[in-house]
Amino acid sequence: MLNGAQAAPFSKTTERSKQKAAAEAERASLQQKLSTLKKDIGKTESAKDDAADTLAASEQAISDANRSLRDLAQEQGDTNTKLQQLSVEHDKLAATVATQKQQLAKLLREQYVAGNEDRIKLLLSGDNPNRINRDLQMMSYVSQAQARLLDSLRANLKAVEVNQAEAQNAKDELQEIAAEEMEQKARLEQEKTRRAALLASLSKKLAAQRKEAGNVERDEQRLTGLVDKLGKLIQEQAIAAAAEKKRQEQLAAARAEAKAKADAEARALAKAKAAEAERQRLARANAAKSGTIKPVPSKPDAIDADEPKVAQQPPPKAAEPARPAPRDEEPSKPAARAADIALAPSVPSGAPFVSLKGQLRAPVSGKIAAKFGTKRGEGPTWKGVFIRTGEGAEIRAVAGGKVIFSDWLRGFGNMIIVDHGGQYWSIYGYCESLLKRVGDPVKPGDSIASAGNSGGNEESGLYFELRHQGTAFDPAGWVKF
């Protein structure tokens, strides 16, 4: 089935295609905001050419292709599992339908052998009434059983059709995945070849720029600027989310108060009407005893004197149903959109990060080649650690949180940042591939990237930082390297 897949785009629209398009649309707004943030950082720098920038497009494409291939492999496994489940379900339904068809055929055959007497013939036969009644009752039971069997058979036949449609959709999705895999593999090989050629032509320039102390300092300033801007963005979004939550709570309270007031008015009105009806009834009873019927004035008696004159008021308005907030009231600030609060972690994953000090596992297996605080040649000191490891080695999140940055940055190549809550962040740079997107939640130990030497780095490995409130600190006391 998969051998027939072509590299050309798969033409048939599947449920997978619709869901994928919807997910991309949801990420578009946030990605646009982060792209703007990166441009703002670039504006503050000089226009000096950097050789590593030439590699940016190629390294990003390699990262995207590897992430796509990983996602497609996961989708392929899930779809194959679903297809197997549908096959088992189809076999069960087919067996049930076959059994029901046999039962229905048997009922029809027995009815034919019995002479297929109808109710009119029995009634006009002149036979014993008790026998006629008994036969009619039996015919009724048989008819009901046939009807139930037919209904069940129709339902199962419909279920078979649905099952076949879902199975066909799963097969179409597998073909679609296979076509995408072929396309991504071809793209990956093309970009790797392109990057190798660029590295060969830029090797001397890259080596020279790595030795310049000013370049290293600018790289660190660039990362610090990104961290500061991300922190402000998350803070703004958290404030907007809190304001929106408060506004929604105020609207809910106002609706509840209006409903309670309307209910109280309705109860008072009902009570007043009941009292008036009772007064009218007593007046009519008294008039009947005296033999004279007089019109009864509509005045409250002494008992009702202290009641509020609700009966004379116009009927109260019905309780207002829950309405969308933007149409009921004009908020003081625009409502926050889902994409605007995607960066801020809503609920910390697992234990608070500060309680994990000394318990975090190393993000990648390898050898520490540079430690926090040591000199970087003629430049400043290291703000993190560099772990030397093979290209493609799996990089795992040191703790749970949410991805707030997943992109290429000059000086650090393909880089991913995870917010762990409490203003604690972990940063992973020089990656070959970024396997998580902005907004993705991660659990401790989740695979988030693969090691490499992107950004013009000389060796393959991982640059790892921990930051609190934007300031880098030594990970040695936190991570068990």
| pTM of structure | 0.61
Write out pLDDT tens, residues 65-111. Answer: 888 888 888 888 888 888 888 888 888 888 888 888 888 888 778 77
For residue 27, pLDDT over 80 is answered with no
* Burial class of residue 165, CB neighbours in 10 A (0-12, 13-18, 19+): exposed
Spatial separation of the C-alpha atoms in residues 415 and 409, rounded to whole Å: 7
For residue 189, pLDDT over 60 is answered with yes
Spatial separation of the C-alpha atoms in residues 434 and 427, rounded to whole Å: 12
Range in 224-233, 415-424, 442-451 the model is least confident about: 224-233
Rounded to the nearest integer, the mean pLDDT of the chain is 78
Spatial separation of the C-alpha atoms in residues 453 and 104, rounded to whole Å: 71
Residue pair 322/12 in contact (Cβ under 8 Å)? The answer is no
pLDDT for res 185:
84
Q: How many CB atoms lie within 10 A of CB 435?
A: 22
Q: DSSP class of residue 44?
A: T
Q: What number is the average pLDDT over the span 359-381?
A: 90
pLDDT for res 186:
85
Share of the chain above pLDDT 70, in %: 69
Write out pLDDT tens, residues 42-57. Answer: 555 544 455 667 778 8
pLDDT for res 328:
42
pLDDT for res 261:
93
Closest CA relative to residue 472, chosen from 337, 381, 361, 362? 381
Write out pLDDT tens, residues 200-228. Answer: 777 777 666 666 657 778 888 889 999 99
pLDDT for res 8:
43
Q: How many CB atoms lie within 10 A of CB 153?
A: 17
